Amino acid sequence: MALNPTEQKVLIFVQNMLEAGSQVTPAIIQEQINLVLNMKKEWRADTDESAVIDELIRRASTWVGDDALLTNDEGHIAWLNQDRKQGWRYWQRYREYQEKKLSWNIVEGLDKSTDLILGNLEDPKRQGPWDRRGLVVGHVQSGKTGNYTGLICKAADAGYKIIIVLAGMHNNLRSQTQIRLDEGFLGFTTSVIQDEMHIVGVGEIDRDPAIRPNFATNRSEKGDFNTKAAKHLGISPEERPWLFVVKKNKSVLERLLKWIQDHVANIQDPETGRKLVTHLPLLIIDDEADNASVDTGDQAYDEFGKPDLEHEPTAINRLTRRILHSFTRKAYVGYTATPFANIFIHNRSETEKEGPDLFPSAFIANLSASSSYIGPAKVFGRSSENGREGGLPLVKVVNDHCSEDEKSGWMPTKHRNGYYPSSDQQHGIPESLRESVDAFVLACAARRLRGQKDEHCSMLIHVTRFTSVQGHVKEQVAAYVDWLKRRLVRRIDHYDVINQLKQLWESDFLATTETIHSMHPDMVDENTLTWSQVEAELSDAISEIEVRAINGFAKEALDYADSAVGLKVIAVGGDKLARGLTLEGLCVSYFLRASRMYDTLMQMGRWFGYRPGYLDLCRLYTTIDLVEWFEHIADASEELREEFDLMTASGATPKEYGLKVASHPVLMVTSRLKMRNAQSLYLSFSGQSVETVSLLKDLDSLKSNLQAFDRLTLRLGEPKPIPDRNRNGSKKSGNGVQWTNVPAEVIVQFLSEYKTHPAAMKVNSRLLSDFIQNMNKEHELTSWTVAIINGGQERTYSIYGSSSVTVKLVKRTPKTITEDRYSIGRLLSPADEALDLDDDAWDAALNETRNNWKNDPARSEKYNGEPPKEPNGPALRKVRGFGAGHIAGHPERGLLLIYLLSPEGVDDSYDESTAPIVSFGISFPGSDSGTKVKYEVNNVLWEQEYDPSVY
């Protein structure tokens, strides 16, 4: 329940009286509330004490996980300490401003996090030239703007004088960022008219005009750095910092660069003639740093790895680097949730006019989120051999938007600009879209009843990138909303609509609230609303809802800041809604956009974030394909962060991490179109695991792969049982049979005969075979363990070449079944991946996992806040390849795990005679060899498969 202004004052008083980190109980809070209300008796009549207690308990139970940092301290001088932070007024007022809205733990976490980042930049008071470049990786919609606002406040306190924020590619995103910085840093509303400036945010905490920062841009849609500002703006050598909030636009950045060179530069380099700024330290914050800032041009390198200094980078990258190159003392910090393109920047890229590229050579920081954050791991859960675990029941699969061949219907997957969506359903829209709008109406009504009627409430509709098609969708949705208003407000022919909404409430909302309350009682209360209460709010709820198109041509904007009461909006859009733009109070998303690029998909996930008091009312309507991709992303992101944790503990640098990630066989999907400097990908599987989760299902392929398996076991001969192991003090029985010391050529032969599905993202048998052969040249992956894992099915299969050994078939629940394939969530079990490690090596991998474990609530919840009880995959593969302590590493040892899957339930035509579905996983040990395998890519084919702009 939202607190009224008086209750907010009581809360702030009590929060300041309670000690951060101390045990907080309702009784202790009640005692402090009584003290406050005895001092301020006039507040008692307007204060619901139970509501204040509930909010303070919620805040006290919210916690923040641990950040992680890869750093390179070459040339860096440590400088940030507690003495240096004395008297920092920008940060102090921002901290107090945040404490009004956030818990102690979150604000304390923000303080530590921004200290970590600022301390890895250079002291702005340090004389002589210096250059620090870093990257901050947060979770999607997890508060990155709040983090860099805090960083800006501290940087200004420390002495950075020119602060430039690169805020997206669209006017409304730049304007939204300016508004946030007006509130969090400047303390007043920016306007070209002096009389229209008003005190806001931090300005209400400390109004001293002596510390008021200067601004060169304002919050209006046209408030970017313009020609008039460039002509008349002059920087004087004063103490107060200057803030520029500019969009990533060639003309804007050219104006800014010219202004710096003409009005700010104070010397000229005698050798190059370059105009330089030596007296004012610069900080550039690059929001969504993986978008537009990365040079996608083809820079050449000679045989010694030296770059072509005359290379011409792409426009935004070139101008950003030239601005940095105009200052002798500078720092650059990129912020993103999808860092892959930034990490793929060549770490040695440099040109004469632009200087070094934007590779984060100084540091990469992985931010944790708070326990109230709702990210991919919470929404989609984590895959296991038993299916997905821990996901929230918020996702509704959409399959009525187009025909089965995806070429016709309301919104075919591939359509052109000018397409007019049509449906033979009532209202001319698919039933799923109608239901999603109904769900939004119910969510608005329920939030009103929960005391959130003045809060913003949004719905996202994202089905096409074409603005003309978006316009048609907006008109169709607006027509349906108007139809609802006539029935719910004017009570004309309303009985069927009321029953329709009632059925959705009772069949979906009640059960979802109950389920999520049982999973997350700290986030969702038990349902106390009756249908009669909800029905009574429907008229007011639908009356407030507006439908708006948000795109490059629409004149409508999401003016949250100018809305006196909460805005209730259905936003129809494309790219503007896909990246950066925050949809306040997002409840319902209808999402069909079919990109397969990791970073694009993650950025489109506007439904991730914080949903205080209404998580159970949120819904995501999307396709099964996109659900699969998001599930895959959730798993890959978790493993990537686990890898990051391991590298942090070993003291690795950003460069080493970049080399590791740049050859990651999954992340190649992300990078391809942002790395047009190669016709081929060079992949490494070292330290990775691969598994067949997209499987061929035609009978000929099943027989062919079974024959490849039979030939493998015939070559291997008689197997031995997998030995029992002592795992963490418990006996772990072997579950299957194995062969050890198998020569690599036997594995290569099997992979050359086995046919993987062409749609498999990570597993290509030819690539794997080539990689193993390349590694053999380095005397690695020469000796293998091959294991066949027993399942729990009654049906068995006799191993060819053995007189008496049979194995039980394995059951994996199909996640998706199409005409040519069936997909499962996870094949490998972590326990199986460790079967070739002895007890000491397993214990070492467990210690490695525990020592480097970051308790980040936005990641997997499988440990429930407790240290892991078994080693994770990256640690197992690291110990296998590199060893640990007295345990020797064995980069020559690979592990091939084979599972014979039961065909039962995969296809109606299968019967008892149908061949088992042969699937496999490979666990590759860690390696320093740097060996890669070349993957030739047809650019046209790739763009058709993965590029979101191709329809």
Closest by Cα among 336, 304, 409 to 137: 336
Q: Cα separations (Å) of 143 from 55, 149, 370, 944?
A: 20, 10, 10, 34
Give the gyration radius of the chain's Cα atoms: 29
Residue 908's contacts (CB-CB under 8 Å, 6 or more residues apart) are: none
Sign of the dihedral through C-alpha 843, 844, 845, 849: positive
* Tokens describing residue 253: 């950045």
Closest by Cα among 411, 488, 481, 443 to 588: 443
pLDDT of 428 strictly over 80 = yes
Give backbone dihedrals phi and psi of 214, rounded to 5 degrees, phi first: -85, 155
Question: Using 50, 70 and 90 to split pLDDT, how confident is the model at 20?
Answer: low
pLDDT of 248 strictly over 90 = yes
pLDDT of residue 944: 43
Q: Is 820 helix (H, G, I), strand (E, B) or coil?
A: coil
Task: Return d(Cα 509, Cα 825) in angstroms, integer.
Answer: 27
Question: Using 50, 70 and 90 to split pLDDT, how confident is the model at 891?
Answer: very high
Which of 248-257, 302-311, 602-611 comes out lowest in average pLDDT? 302-311
Q: What's the CA dihedral at 97, 98, 100, 103 to 10 degrees? A: -160
In the chain, the percentage of residues whose pLDDT exceeds 90 is 45
Q: Cα separations (Å) of 138 from 77, 175, 576, 609?
A: 26, 22, 20, 11
Task: Return d(Cα 232, Cα 241) in angstroms, integer.
Answer: 18
Token look-up 């690695």 returns 780
Question: Using 50, 70 and 90 to split pLDDT, how confident is the model at 660?
Answer: low
Percent helix, strand, coil in the chain, to 5, is 40, 20, 45
* Mean pLDDT confidence for 855-870: 67
* Mean pLDDT confidence for 798-827: 80
pLDDT digit string, tens, across residues 670-689: 444 444 444 455 677 888 88
* Tokens describing residue 896: 């091939």
Task: Return d(Cα 107, Cα 15) in angstroms, integer.
Answer: 12
Closest by Cα among 504, 318, 508 to 394: 508
pLDDT of 129 strictly over 60 = yes
* Tokens describing residue 97: 């401003």
pLDDT of residue 18: 75
**For the structural domain made of 89-99+117-366, what CATH number should be given?**
3.40.50.300
pLDDT of residue 864: 57
Question: Domain extents for the chain?
Answer: 5-61, 89-99+117-366, 439-622, 632-657+676-946
Q: What is the 3-state secondary structure (H, E, C) of 180-230?
A: HHHHHHHCECCCCCHHHCCECHHHHCCCCHHHCCEECCCCCCCCCCCHHHH
pLDDT digit string, tens, across residues 280-312: 999 999 998 877 777 766 555 444 456 555 566
* Cβ 611 vs Cβ 589: under 8 Å: no
Question: Using 50, 70 and 90 to split pLDDT, how confident is the model at 171?
Answer: confident
CA 777, distance to chain mean position in Å, is 38
* Mean pLDDT confidence for 475-501: 94
CA 282, distance to chain mean position in Å, is 29
Pairing of strands 796-798, 806-808: antiparallel
**Residue with more model confidence, 528 or 141:** 528
**Residue with more model confidence, 265 or 932:** 265
The one-letter code for the residue type at 203 is: G
Q: Is 364 helix (H, G, I), strand (E, B) or coil?
A: strand
Q: Is 17 helix (H, G, I), strand (E, B) or coil?
A: helix
* Tokens describing residue 267: 């010397």
Q: Cα separations (Å) of 152 from 1, 80, 91?
A: 32, 15, 9
Helix intervals (H) in 865-930:
873-882
pLDDT of residue 809: 93
Task: Return d(Cα 71, Cα 182) in angstroms, integer.
Answer: 32
pLDDT of 108 strictly over 70 = yes
pLDDT digit string, tens, across residues 324-359: 999 999 999 999 877 766 666 665 678 888 888 888
Maximum Cα–Cα distance across the chain = 93
pTM of the model: 0.76
* Mean pLDDT confidence for 191-202: 82
pLDDT of 103 strictly over 70 = yes
pLDDT of residue 233: 76
Highest mean pLDDT: which of 630-644, 694-708, 719-733? Answer: 694-708
Q: Is 130 helix (H, G, I), strand (E, B) or coil?
A: strand
Task: Return d(Cα 373, Cα 341) in angstroms, integer.
Answer: 25
Task: Return d(Cα 790, Cα 831) in angstroms, integer.
Answer: 13
Other Cβ atoms closer than 10 A to 837: 24
In the chain, the percentage of residues whose pLDDT exceeds 70 is 84
pLDDT of residue 305: 52
**Residue with more model confidence, 606 or 370:** 370
Q: Cα separations (Å) of 129 from 123, 126, 135, 474?
A: 11, 9, 21, 53
State the average pLDDT for the chain: 84
pLDDT of residue 309: 59
Task: Return d(Cα 524, Cα 616) in angstroms, integer.
Answer: 7
Q: Is 457 helix (H, G, I), strand (E, B) or coil?
A: strand
pLDDT of 322 strictly over 90 = yes
In the beta sheet, which residues pair with residue 267? Answer: 276
Token look-up 């999603």 returns 436
* Mean pLDDT confidence for 703-717: 94
Task: Return d(Cα 687, Cα 669) in angstroms, integer.
Answer: 19
Question: Using 50, 70 and 90 to split pLDDT, how confident is the model at 861?
Answer: low
